[in-house]
Structure 1
């Protein structure tokens, strides 16, 4: 239940002695892993740490796609469509977690473009028209990822957009060629 649905409880918590509030806060933070990661980033890290996080994130995505090369083949069959969709979902989840922790929009968009471009470069045949149901599910999923990426890209400052323009154009050219937008 939400705390703002119980205003009397909220008021009682706010009126606790500072020492009691501190104990409760530490206990509650310990129960939520994402909150712990967010607080760690906000309170203990700086710009250099953010750059290290971004570098590790990109290395992790590159490793994920390198390993995916073993499980996904550029051959348009049912299992490859499913495996590629799973790979893109996993990569997107990693980027989602990074964004929730750091709130860094630029690296989020950069990595989302990277994921799509890697999928397009490595597995172009899986984006050709196909009658296989799993192909249409993959294509629909990728269309949604493209739309999300475009929306997030459009919200960035124009200087940041300029830095990502080349990769964004590569993504859009492939997407248009294969009717994904």
Structure 2
């Protein structure tokens, strides 16, 4: 049931006494961890906390890179997906578009593109890794293009380095197939 479809319910809720509304609101918030974290961020944190969150994610990613180089492509794909998921969670909590794009390009730029061959299914997972990686770059580039031009300027050098890295690796054909630019 959507609230927009039930205008009478919306009116009834707004007419509730403040104490009862607060009680209901707190019960609803407690059921959703992301909403709880978002409200904590919005109501109790400031710009320093946003930078602290970004630095924590970067430090966590950097600590995993040496381990990532030792994995086969299947295991690496799982780890990289978790890294990107952590940035998606960051965005859900902070609604910081620039931070999301910055962190995703940081991850995509720092992770290695060559992994050990596994005995079984290397080609399948190699293809899945390449597809995931290139699609993530493409989606992030679309988000990058929606940012203000001053913010785009701040990230453009890192993005060009990433695109150069992609086109000088085994992922070049996948990047061309996905119409990734060679530079921005």
Match of 1:146 among 130, 137, 142: 137
Considering fraction of residues, name the structure with more helix.
Answer: 1
Deviation of 1:17 after TM superposition, in Å, equals: 1.1
User: Aligned residue for 1:6?
Assistant: 6
Distance in 2, matches of 1:66 and 1:33, equals 31
Moved over 4 A (4+): none
How many angstroms apart in 1 are the aligned matches of 2:83 and 2:66?
12
C-alpha deviation, 1:125, in angstroms: 5.5
Q: Matched residue of 2:174: which SS? A: coil
User: CA, structure 1 residues 82+125, in 2 after alignment: closer, same or farther (shift >3 Å)?
Assistant: closer
TM-score, scaled to structure 1: 0.84
The equivalent of 2:173 in structure 1 is 179
Query: What is the aligned partner in structure 2 of residue 103 from structure 1?
Result: 95
Which segments of 5 or more consecutive residues in structure 1 lack a partner in the other structure? 73-79
Quickly say closer, same or farther: Cα 1:22–1:29, change in 2 above 3 A: same
C-alpha distance in structure 1 between counterparts of 2:113 and 2:34, whole Å: 33
Q: Say whether residues 1:63 and 2:63 are aligned partners.
A: yes
TM-score, structure 2 as length reference: 0.83
Mapped pair 1:124 → 2:114:
yes
2:73, 2:122 within 8 Å by CA — same for their partners in 1?
A: no
1:163 aligns with 2:154: yes
For structure 2, which runs of at least 5 residues remain unmatched after alignment? 176-184
**Secondary structure class of the residue paired with 1:82:** helix
Aligned residue-pair number: 168
Q: Would you say the 8 A contact 1:65–1:87 is kept in 2?
A: no
Cα deviation, residue 101, structure 1: 0.9
